[in-house]
Structure 1
Amino acid sequence: MNLTINGVTETWIKGTTSSDPTPSSVIPKFWTTCPFCSVCYRLHRSSVCKQTRCRSCNKEFTARERPLQGLSSKDSSIKGVLSQILRETQQRHPVAPSSSGPSFWTTCRNCGCRHRFLRVYLDKWFVCPSCKEETIAMEVLSSSGEVVFNKQFEDFRSHCKKEATSVSEKQSSPAVKVVGEKRKREEFAADLKFNDFDKLREEANFAVGQVWALYDTADKVPRQYALIRKVFSVPSFGLRITYLEPDPDDENEIQWFEQDLPVSAGKFRLGSSVNTKDRSLFSHVTHSNEEGSNDPGHFTVYPREGETWALFKNWDINWSSKPDSHRKYEYEFVQILQDYCTYGVGVSIAFLHKAKGFASVFFRMGTGDTDKFCMLPHCLYRFSHRIPSFKLTGVDVKGLPKYAYELDQAALPATIEEVTVPSHLLADYAPPKPEALSFPINGKVFQTGQIWSYVGCDDNNMPRDYCRIHKISVTQTFEQAPVYKIISFRLKAKPLPGEVIQWWEKKMPVGCGTFLVSKVHVALSPDNFSHLMVVPQTSTEGDEYTILPKIGQVWAIHRFWTGCIDETYEELVIVEVLDDDALDYYKVLALEPALQFNEDERKKRVFRAAESRPRDFDDGDEAMFTIPKSKMLRFSHQITATRVNEEIDGELKELFELDSTAVPPVL
């Protein structure tokens, strides 16, 4: 949002959160002045000496750094006032500053953010820039947040309730969107969000060599690109990036670029480099290809199958002839059905529509091939920007369309036309019914969607297979005991990275790696299951899971492992994982049997930390040792473990109580 005081405008950069105590000190900025209308702006350091557009006179100028000059003594603290207002707005403290000019302060009734508007927008409906919800612009008269409902507002509110008709306004403002019909409060409950897109931008996701999309300064959508050169973690997170600049070779595309029209697809070359600590500049990792070794430093970015993109509405490559007449962009949204081809057919797309009642859910209106379209290669610059998205699977919500996608709101415009989902495109909805079965004998609770390890038919009774529970059925005949069948889909291991040593026998069970939910289902009894796996999904489709040894877990590993099946295949050792953060190895600690006893008719196996290992081990006799990640298949299967304290030989020691069904019979 923009805050204007006495002709000085502060730009609130998208992505700044309310937890930042002093935004001006965290985000590197500079002051610049429009040479045409003398309005001052505060912009990111990345915009120094770059073309920008004045929001006041709509003219382009070069953003050159300069101090604020010509301020009277009354305005000498203008920078402090701006920082204070921005800080108060972000922290949502309703403290009204002294007004200047015909303006007023209002508070969003949904999120509590305060905004300052011209008085012509008093008692008008507007979309809050912070929470994207509709609210009424009611004047706040005091720091306590008290508001006044005048007669005009009361009449207008009554009219909305009785007639529910639209109200058209002749005046408009870039800061607010006047809307006609006030949605009922109950409708806001349907604005559901299913995925946290901010997780895509966490510090751990940045790596050297990646190309990221960055939000531009004009429309705040991810149209810029940067190559990650370095990632700093000490003393705090930081990045060294090199911007990618458009490098068109087509005459029409060159003219488009020279007129400062946005480019987000095609050919790019390396530009200037900067350091930044601001993750709010970044949107998502971009799939880019670096061109051949004969032309280093050049990259290509094209739409890929499965991605979602925004298109310029009513686009024409000849916009470059009158660029200033086409800078207020409108968008259409599409799903990419096949990778872009630079020769011949171009790319196949299907248009997406925003579903009414949801925050950012989009769907295809047609089915099959009825809504497919082809965009030829010369229309490449019609692509405005890619929008991160997740396909919604396994979501049971009333009114949700079939084959829906949730798009990242941070890459969407503030206002989008919504469409009521036709009844024939609605997903089958059934009120959620808990389908969990409890077995007090062994304490297991099964539920649909869970990932479990289980004992397969030829795994020597070891839990080396994984499945996802799909359905649970119960059959009972007269007074006989009920029979439970758990229908599950097997998890199939995906190909491992090239540096990982593979099994010679392709059908051997794989205990760790990335797994895909297959279409092969198995009917299992509760006794087949070993333990519940708490693993994250690693794909937008919701059908991939990564299972790797984690700190604190107990695993069985092969004593000798070369990838071949020989007489040592069933010789296993129990270890505790001590470290999984190293780049190329796992650190583990060998465990040895401590005692064996019976309790509640269940056989228990208790282990303790070993002091050493037999000398015939290939990797030494130390109890603490490392396993290269290239030999990750040495991990056979995980074993459920509980830490207990027992007295052994007069000393209290920490022991591991293991699930005996997963402990190898011979150690």
Structure 2
Amino acid sequence: MKLAAAAAAEAAAAAKAVREAAEAVAAAAARENVELPKRAYLGVPGHQSELHRTGSTTSITVPDPDFHDFDKDRSEECFKPKQIWAIYDEEDGMPRLYCLIREVISVKPFKVHISYLNSKTDAEFGSVNWIDSGFTKSCGNFRAWNSDIVEQVNIFSHLLSGEKAGRGGCVRIYPKSGNIWAVYRNWSPDWNRSTPDEVRHQYEMVEVLDDYSEELGVCIVPLVKLDGFKTVYQRNTDKNAIQWIPRREMLRFSHQVPSWLLKGEASNLPEGCWDLDPAATPDELLQTATPDELLQAATEVKAE
């Protein structure tokens, strides 16, 4: 009984700490009173053998992150020639597409000359038919193809650090150590055009622990969202959760998620937490329990 009471007290204290941190974040957001950011896509289809601009632009309103301002990392001043940027696709608005910045024509008003990165094969990952089945490949080998003039800065998600176009416009994009990626929770090499959206669009956030190698693939660990927050995650502490995704399963990676390692932003957070960009986080993962719900859960534990 004493052990149960101690556990209940500890759970209640933890819930109270999370509630205080969540309330502090909400109060800060209310004081700022800023308009929610938007992400946009230019009618660019996910099928990479048909990349082109259709001329229409759709905007999607996204919630603010809990701590870091990701919009400042993709402002007009951030763009330089030869950079590789991720772009939101039209499937579900996630940043699965890429482009090469050819020229910054002007900063304000924003206008850049880009080339979309295309891939007509996924042969580097073995005998799969991902692209032929209408899916978007977000890692592997790409080549610069169709060019375009873009005037909307909010189609861009994030800069791919360290990625450069090689000879002939070839670009290799793979998960790197320290990256945060969303992976398809129910991924199967048997997915095809008839696979239902509700099966495909289920995700899990992971941290990449080691760079990709053809022999081993990529080492990852799942992330766990902290209660009371929309976008704050930490590593799964179970050592058995660490796993390798082999080369033949690399298409399990959906898209990279911009992230910010939190260091002292909130006193109640455990060490090693990440704030993830809500514009690259699937909607179902942005849901959060309210402080009252957290306290209710702690009360139920205590009652037991």
The TM-score, its normalising length taken from structure 2, stands at: 0.71
> Is residue 315 of structure 1 aligned with residue 187 of structure 2?
yes
Among 409, 412, 420, the residue aligned to 2:281: 412
Task: Output one character per residue of 1:233-264: Cα deviation in whole Å (capped at 9) or x when no partner.
Answer: 27732100000012422585652101111210
User: 1: CA distance between counterparts of 2:236 and 2:107?
Assistant: 50
1:283 paired with 2:149, answer no
Contact 2:226 / 2:234 at 8 angstroms: preserved in 1? yes
Query: Does residue 151 of structure 2 align to residue 265 of structure 1?
Result: no
Is the Cα contact below 8 Å between 2:85 and 2:159 reproduced in 1? Answer: yes
1:380 to 243, 250, 259: 250
Shift of 1:308: 0.2
1:206 aligns with 2:79: yes
Q: 1:366 to 1:65 in 2, by over 3 A?
A: closer
Distance 1:345 1:266, change over 3 A: same
- 1:308–1:388: 8 Å Cα contact kept in structure 2? yes
2:270 corresponds in structure 1 to 401
Q: 1:223 aligns with which of 85, 96, 110?
A: 96
Deviation at 1:397, TM superposition (A): 3.4
Matched, 1:341 2:213: yes
CA contact (8 A) 1:248 1:268 kept: no
- Work out the CA distance in 1 between the residues paired with 2:143 and 2:75: 27
Kept after mapping to 2: 8 A contact 1:289/1:301? no
- Does the C-alpha gap of structure 1 residues 354 and 235 become closer, same or farther in structure 2, counting only changes over 3 Å? closer
Report the alpha carbon displacement of residue 271 of structure 1 after superposing the two structures with TM. 1.6
Q: Distance in 1 between matches of 2:181 and 2:122?
A: 20
The amino acid across from 2:94 in the alignment is V
Q: 1:226 to 1:65 in 2, by over 3 A?
A: closer
Query: For the Cα contact (< 8 Å) 1:252–1:317, is it kept in 2?
Result: no
* 2:232 aligned with 1:361: yes
Match of 2:262 in 1: 392
1:307 shift after superposition: 0.6
SS in 2 for 1:378: helix
Q: Distance in 2 between matches of 1:394 and 1:267?
A: 38
- Structure of higher CA gyration radius: 1
Q: Which runs of 4+ in 1 moved over 3 A?
A: 62-66, 129-132, 250-254, 417-420
- What is residue 564 of structure 1 aligned with on the other side? none
Identity of aligned residues (%): 32
Distance in 1 between the 2:279 and 2:94 partners? 7
Question: Does the 8 Å contact 2:257/2:280 carry over to 1?
Answer: yes
TM-score by length of 1: 0.34
Answer 1 or 2: higher relative contact order, Cα 8 Å, separation at least 6: 2
Q: RMSD of the alignment, in Å?
A: 3.1
**Alpha-carbon shift at residue 387 of structure 1 (Å):** 0.2
Structure 1 partner of 2:39: 15
**Alpha-carbon distance between aligned partners in 2 of 1:300 and 1:201, rounded to the nearest angstrom:** 22
Q: Secondary structure at the match of 1:216?
A: coil
In structure 1, the partner of 2:21 is: none
Q: How many residues align?
A: 244
Q: 1:387 to 1:131 in 2, by over 3 A?
A: closer
Question: How much does 1:414 deviate?
Answer: 1.1
Q: Specify whether residues 259 and 63 from structure 1 end up closer, same or farther in structure 2 by C-alpha distance, changes over 3 A only.
A: farther
**1:531-570 equivalences in 2 (<5 Å):** none
Q: Which residue of 2 aligns with 1:196?
A: 69
Cα-to-partner distance string for 1:127-147 (whole Å, 9 max, x where unaligned): xx8465xxxxxxxxxxxxxxx
Gaps of 5+ in 2: 1-36, 291-304
Cα distance in 1 between the residues matched to 2:241 and 2:78: 35
User: For the residues of structure 2 that align with 1:14 and 1:245, how far apart are their CA atoms?
Assistant: 25
For the residues of structure 2 that align with 1:388 and 1:225, how far apart are their CA atoms?
14
Structure 1 runs not aligned, ≥5 long: 1-12, 17-42, 53-61, 67-85, 91-128, 133-190, 421-667
Could you tell me how far apart the structure 1 residues matched to 2:125 and 2:218 are? Answer: 21
Q: Which has the larger helix fraction?
A: 2
Does the CA-based 8 Å contact 1:313-1:331 persist in structure 2?
yes
Question: Which residue number corresponds to residue 19 of structure 2?
Answer: none
- For 2:39 and 2:150, the matched residues in 1 are separated by 14
Contact 1:319 1:326 in 2 (8 A): no
